[in-house]
Structure 1
């Protein structure tokens, strides 16, 4: 397969009537990319105009690719866009809640910048190796079908079609629904998948309308305050009854005090006997304390020098893991930015040196860095060559963004999976994440394995 200008073709991804899509690499710097080559020469000017406008508006949004090169090959115009290892959305593939969130976010971003996509299908939805979504092909339909005007409703129907075929939402949810704007559709999706979203108020949705009212407010609405009628003064006969009632209560209280005193004295004697017995047991336990302290000291990880190895990061959680005979310490660290946000990163240390690290993640909206991360769990493969670290980035309503990192025998780490979840548990060599479905994460045959139930 011939190269296209300076770009080396790795493989052909898609070919249709109007264009062919290739995965390419720039030999100069080794950077990967996605090349889109159109077949119809008369469309060259419209194509170039489309991608010049796109290039001016879409620059650094991570779920929409930026333009790298706009050129001509064999008189045919093509564009090279940012691209990573991955593949298009497959026919029977199901999107996770996080992937749906990213996919719809990309459409929202386009509409905010006055760009209508026009042809949202699985051959334009790219899934990177780490599971993140990139949406390609924005506006190309206007070039290929200039006589047919693209509308917002076209995009909304296509988004709903993707959700219907590639999400866990039941088909009954899609019956009789319609939206006027992508933000309305996004709010509906967030409600159905129960995904916490910081910008809901900006979408015209409040936290109460999306996630329900707080318990206190619900109770107040469901149970109106009762009106207590005023009590008129009691007649003389009632006073006599109240006096008799008071005497009865006083006698009952006196009886309770007497019974309590007897039981207290009895209990004191029994307590003295129990304390004597416990004293003997403590004497026996004291003999084993040096062994316990020695074991605790051995398991402890010295992080006192961490800030020297990794300046400006504060360690908040850690775990030890042994791979191919090497001892590694996995440290989750935080970097506070302001009173309500910060960054999180996982570092891999060995013999006092940093040997690997994860991408940066956004910590929770909390002033305390220690609350930026939770559920720090690890497993190793049967042959001890790989490790798996799973941790959560807490969000709202008890829902966390759960990340899985694969750690190599060399100490390097890369993200292999992420999704939203409400609970993370470990049972032997399997880590389970409860979200819209149950995801079981493990290392089988030395490979990361995801099983959904």
Structure 2
């Protein structure tokens, strides 16, 4: 595949619905981009192409300046059957290669989904392959809602995004088992509910950590007090011991002095 002005660095993934995703580099600047190529050769009608193009333009219009969602630099075609969108990116790797998400990265991912939903857009394919982690640790959610067109699921909605998002968090995060269990039991129905649940859980962890810290200092204070009391007790015992010794020595010396005086007479 020849994309003028860009060199393919590697293929990231492809699926059964005609989507292939590549990491590419702009020849002139060396900048990194994500190229999402769609094969329409098995999708006989022009209607799906028109739908796909409309989605790209909607995304391009709405998502223009949000740090955890990429901007679309270009929408074009290789030939009549192969169209692509070029997303701005940066050096990094997909989540599936990079490893688990920390608490702050989970917040970034959730914020990306909330931003889409706030602008009436559905992602449709929130997966570790579509989650990009920059070399600086920043989370970027790639994808422009193609699943609705390519997978033939026009009714995909916010709830499906949320279920996918929770599945990613449960499988690719460093959150505690208790928080993950709460996600399973409470089943939040909106991104806002998910954010509130995570905030409450984080707050409880913070309180728990504060309690642990307070208990630690209380134990330390008690131990220090006990050590001080023990030192005083030993000091007192030592004083009594030396007092007894001095009394005995005094008695002996008095006896010796009496004998000495008696011997003179």
Separation of aligned partners in 2, 1:130 and 1:40:
36
Match of 1:117, SS state, is coil
Q: How far did residue 31 of structure 1 move?
A: 2.0
Q: What TM-score comes out, normalization by structure 1 length?
A: 0.41
The one of 46, 50, 56 aligned to 1:51 = 56
Q: How far did residue 147 of structure 1 move?
A: 4.2
* Structure 2 counterpart of 1:37: 37
* Structure 2 counterpart of 1:108: 114
* Runs of at least 5 residues in structure 2 that lack an aligned partner in the other structure: 209-265
The one of 166, 176, 181 aligned to 1:169 = 176
1:221-370 alignment runs, 5 A limit: none
Separation of aligned partners in 2, 1:72 and 1:211:
55
* Structure 2 counterpart of 1:160: 166
Deviations 1:305-327 (A, max 9, x none): xxxxxxxxxxxxxxxxxxxxxxx
* Structure 2 counterpart of 1:27: 27
Match of 1:109, SS state, is helix
Confirm or deny: 8 A CA contact 2:122 2:145 kept in the other structure.
yes
Confirm or deny: 8 A CA contact 1:127 1:134 kept in the other structure.
yes
Extract structure 1 runs of 4+ deviating beyond 3 A. Answer: none
Confirm or deny: 8 A CA contact 1:152 1:181 kept in the other structure.
yes
Going from structure 1 to structure 2, the CA distance change for 1:176 and 1:14 (only over 3 Å counts) comes to same
Give the root-mean-square deviation of aligned CA atoms. Answer: 2.2
Match of 2:186, SS state, is coil
- Is 2:115 aligned against 1:98? no
Q: What TM-score comes out, normalization by structure 2 length?
A: 0.69
- Is 2:184 aligned against 1:178? no
* Structure 2 counterpart of 1:269: none
Q: How far did residue 91 of structure 1 move?
A: 6.5
Separation of aligned partners in 2, 1:147 and 1:139:
11
Separation of aligned partners in 2, 1:39 and 1:14:
14
Separation of aligned partners in 2, 1:44 and 1:107:
25
Q: How far did residue 179 of structure 1 move?
A: 2.1
Going from structure 1 to structure 2, the CA distance change for 1:127 and 1:92 (only over 3 Å counts) comes to closer
Deviations 1:358-415 (A, max 9, x none): xxxxxxxxxxxxxxxxxxxxxxxxxxxxxxxxxxxxxxxxxxxxxxxxxxxxxxxxxx
Q: How far did residue 38 of structure 1 move?
A: 0.6
The one of 60, 73, 76 aligned to 1:68 = 73
Match of 2:96, SS state, is coil
Larger Rg: 2
Q: How far did residue 11 of structure 1 move?
A: 1.1
Q: How far did residue 190 of structure 1 move?
A: 2.0
Across the two proteins, how many residue pairs are aligned to each other? 197
Confirm or deny: 8 A CA contact 2:116 2:123 kept in the other structure.
yes
Match of 2:155, SS state, is coil
Match of 1:174, SS state, is helix
Q: How far did residue 166 of structure 1 move?
A: 1.4
Going from structure 1 to structure 2, the CA distance change for 1:92 and 1:65 (only over 3 Å counts) comes to closer
The structure with the largest helix share of the pair is: 2
Separation of aligned partners in 1, 2:98 and 2:11:
21
The structure with the largest strand share of the pair is: 1
* Runs of at least 5 residues in structure 1 that lack an aligned partner in the other structure: 196-209, 213-453
Confirm or deny: 8 A CA contact 1:19 1:39 kept in the other structure.
yes
Confirm or deny: 8 A CA contact 2:55 2:144 kept in the other structure.
no
Task: Identify the structure with bigger relative contact order (alpha carbons < 8 Å, sequence gap 6+).
Answer: 2
Going from structure 1 to structure 2, the CA distance change for 1:46 and 1:3 (only over 3 Å counts) comes to same
**Higher mean displacement: 171-180 or 147-156:** 171-180
